[in-house]
Amino acid sequence: MGKIILILLFLFGAALYFPQTRPAIVNTLEPILRPVVNPALRWQTRNEMNRIARELGGMHRRGEDLPAPGDGFQYWVGRTFQGGSSQDGWGNSYILRAWPDSLGIVSKGPDQELDTSDDLFISQSLERPGRNRR
């Protein structure tokens, strides 16, 4: 019995690892396994958001144009992070927020609504190109 449970947990973890399978798992099992699923999805979503923010920061340092918030950002994420990483763990598209000196990547979080307390947010400061660090 213990081996069966271990195998099921392994399969569940493997399914959560692949972004394209997450929404189906979440919609099916989320009400039952919410205490286990949401922390795992938060962790995975934060990792993906950090990858996106690092890539955008690198583009800025190289002097490349950053994608515009909205459709331009969605297109760029889908093209750059293939395999489903263009969506958070709950199946929503990431959102780009931009300011003159920084940018932010937003996930709507488990409630799938923007600007609520469970949203996930990662920021990336943007240095001016050519500026010397001290």
For 98-126, the pLDDT digits (tens) are: 998 999 999 999 889 999 999 999 999 98
Distance (Å) of CA 58 to CA 7, 72, 93, 110, 133: 40, 18, 21, 29, 15
Q: Provide the pLDDT for residue 40.
A: 84
For 72-104, the pLDDT digits (tens) are: 999 999 999 876 678 898 889 999 999 989 999
The answer to pTM > 0.85 is no
For 20-32, the pLDDT digits (tens) are: 676 666 667 666 7
| Percentage of the chain exceeding pLDDT 90 | 50
As given in the structure block, the two tokens for residue 63 are 């002097």
